[in-house]
Structure 1
């Protein structure tokens, strides 16, 4: 099986633009006691999560940084409402996309590298191909145009990691207290074959959540169905030992 990075196809000529954010989110961390970093990562999102029943809902509306202990308290408060195994790092986005959209969109769209939107008809056709792990979540995007598309957001679970050969040697990259991963996305990328998930044809990487990865099965289905709007860049796979 081959794997690919999913990115916006800038050559497709679509004019679609999205100005939105997710309805809720976890706070960032303010000055981790171990690594001293203040940080958050809003690229990881679970749009199926509904926090409307949470008593302290206001705690998840404003983007901000909190002491590590407060972030951990809020994280455990919402964990039962999230998909099994969800990675709930500081800044994780929750709930539907809310905002404005305009222009022409392809069958799929990646207005940001870490979002993957899909038109309703395209998702139905992909699901009919029996691709695995495709969960489309409603958005709350407002269009000021006729014949506006119905855009859904694919909920991308975290799975798979880049191979250690891509990263600096002999360096501790993840804080043992807050979990911060202290390395930028390498230009040369190699998917670790030992971390490939089963049962998923599209996912985001565990260690670099801005990277969306899909299988050859997903690419073949999109091409066979004539679905456009995104490009597929080959992602080399490390040899198994």
Structure 2
């Protein structure tokens, strides 16, 4: 099996614009007592999560940093509502995308590296191919244009990691209190074969969640079906 990363195809001249955020989210951490760093990642998102059963819903509506104890309290409130296989970190976003968009767009939309949208008809075609792990979630994106497309967000589980050989040899271990690594995404990525999921054709990396990875089955289906909007770059595996 071969693996690829996804990027926006800027050569097609699609000039669509999206301004959006998820409806809810966990706060970042304010000066972790372990590493002394205030941080929030935010690349992990679960648009299928409905937080309306949570009594203190307002605690998840405003992006901010909180002491780690408050972050952990709020994390435990949402954990039972997360999809199987979900991992959370400070800044994890939840619920549907809200905002505005203006086209045109391709069949697949990767305007941001960590976010993948698809026209409803494009996702239907891919799911009909039997590809695994394609979960489309409704958005609350608004558009004033006539006959605007229905855009769904792909919920991508974080699995798979980069191989240690492509990471700095002198890297520090993660913070024992908050788990922060503080590593920069390497230019020459190498996927760790022992961590690759066998049940998904589309996923995001666990350790570098801005990176979306797909299998050659996904690439072949997109090319055969003529689904545009993204490019695919081979990803080395070891």
Q: How does 1:135-154 map to 2 (within 5 A)?
A: 135-154=135-154
SS in 2 for 1:24: strand
- What residue is the counterpart of 2:107 in the other structure? 107
- What residue is the counterpart of 2:27 in the other structure? 27
Q: How does 1:165-204 map to 2 (within 5 A)?
A: 165-204=165-204
Stretches of 4+ moved more than 6 A in 1? none
Task: Indicate if the aligned counterparts of 1:45 and 1:155 stay in contact, CA closer than 8 A.
Answer: yes
The alpha-carbon deviation at position 170 of structure 1 amounts to 3.6
Q: What is the CA–CA distance in structure 1 between the aligned matches of 2:190 and 2:66, rounded to whole Å?
A: 35
Q: What is the CA–CA distance in structure 1 between the aligned matches of 2:22 and 2:48, rounded to whole Å?
A: 11
Q: What is the CA–CA distance in structure 1 between the aligned matches of 2:138 and 2:186, rounded to whole Å?
A: 33
Task: Indicate if the aligned counterparts of 1:9 and 1:231 stay in contact, CA closer than 8 A.
Answer: yes
- What residue is the counterpart of 1:58 in the other structure? 58
Unpaired runs of 5+ residues, structure 2, are none
The alpha-carbon deviation at position 181 of structure 1 amounts to 1.7
Number of positions where the alignment pairs a residue of Structure 1 with one of Structure 2: 238
**Deviation string, structure 1 residues 123-145 (Cα, Å, up to 9, x no partner):** 00000000000000000011010
Q: What is the CA–CA distance in structure 1 between the aligned matches of 2:43 and 2:93, rounded to whole Å?
A: 7
- What residue is the counterpart of 2:117 in the other structure? 117
The alpha-carbon deviation at position 173 of structure 1 amounts to 3.9
Task: Indicate if the aligned counterparts of 2:101 and 2:143 stay in contact, CA closer than 8 A.
Answer: yes
Q: How does 1:6-21 map to 2 (within 5 A)?
A: 6-21=6-21
TM-score (normalizing by structure 1): 0.97
> C-alpha root-mean-square deviation of aligned residues, in Å?
0.7
SS in 2 for 1:221: helix
TM-score (normalizing by structure 2): 0.99
Task: Indicate if the aligned counterparts of 1:173 and 1:183 stay in contact, CA closer than 8 A.
Answer: no
- What residue is the counterpart of 1:93 in the other structure? 93
- What residue is the counterpart of 2:161 in the other structure? 161
Unpaired runs of 5+ residues, structure 1, are none
- What residue is the counterpart of 1:231 in the other structure? 231
Q: What is the CA–CA distance in structure 2 between the aligned matches of 1:174 and 1:104, rounded to whole Å?
A: 42
**Deviation string, structure 1 residues 48-71 (Cα, Å, up to 9, x no partner):** 000011100000000000010110
Q: What is the CA–CA distance in structure 2 between the aligned matches of 1:171 and 1:10, rounded to whole Å?
A: 34
The alpha-carbon deviation at position 85 of structure 1 amounts to 2.5
